[in-house]
Chains A and B, each alone.
Chain A
């Protein structure tokens, strides 16, 4: 079991609402990456935070935003929810910004938009 925890585990929201997902990174890790995984597909990179700064972003619109706190935990915020935002949201904890030796994932947050 990894030291990466995500909350909540499940969430149901209505189209147009806003949502905040949370991730606590593993001890000793200062980098958090967020991924979206649709059913039956591989995870898609949303963005990464390193020492409280955004350090890379995938092909997601600006309504997906994030934060990283001094203790390296992180939040993913999604505004104006759309039905297609329904997915498993994963955070990954790692160290540094160079070659990744290991990255551990949390259990994910299952978001359903109705």
Chain B
């Protein structure tokens, strides 16, 4: 059974204080790993798709990396508007669906 865990559960940062969020996964053949941002009461907003170990993608202050067992979402010099829940999901070889982790709730204080 495909599984995704995320850590930490919650993270509080000061504005400008860089950090990383972790996503660990077990999957029966990885088709893709996805990062989403979700604001309270809203649908997830697509950030990145990663397909193979060693791949990296960047968008503004965010950078996602992938290994064979985990992915990291690095946040450089965050701003208060980066506060949200960050969700990680995987698509395995035997399904068309995503398996999501529980998310990391990020708060960036001014």
Contact = CB atoms under 8 A, between A and B. Distances in A.
Given A42-B87, A99-B31, A33 B42 contact: no
Contacts of B43: 2, 4, 6, 90, 105-108
A47 to B, nearest CB: 8
A62 to B, nearest CB: 18
Contact of B46 (A41, A90, A99, A102): A102
Interface string A78-108: 0000000000101010000111111111111
Contacts of A25: none
Contacts of A55: 96
Nearest to A33: B97
Nearest to B103: A42
A47 B75 CA distance: 33
A92 B103 CA distance: 18
B96 A43 contact: no
Contacts of B103: 41-42
A30 interface: no
A88 B43 CA distance: 9
Interface of A: 2, 4, 6, 31, 33, 35, 40-45, 48, 50, 55-56, 58, 88, 90, 92, 97-108, 110
12 contacts: A31-B96, A33-B96, A35-B98, A42-B4, A42-B102, A44-B100, A45-B97, A45-B99, A50-B96, A99-B51, A101-B49, A107-B43
Interface of B: 4, 31-32, 34, 36, 41-46, 49, 51, 87, 89, 91, 95-103
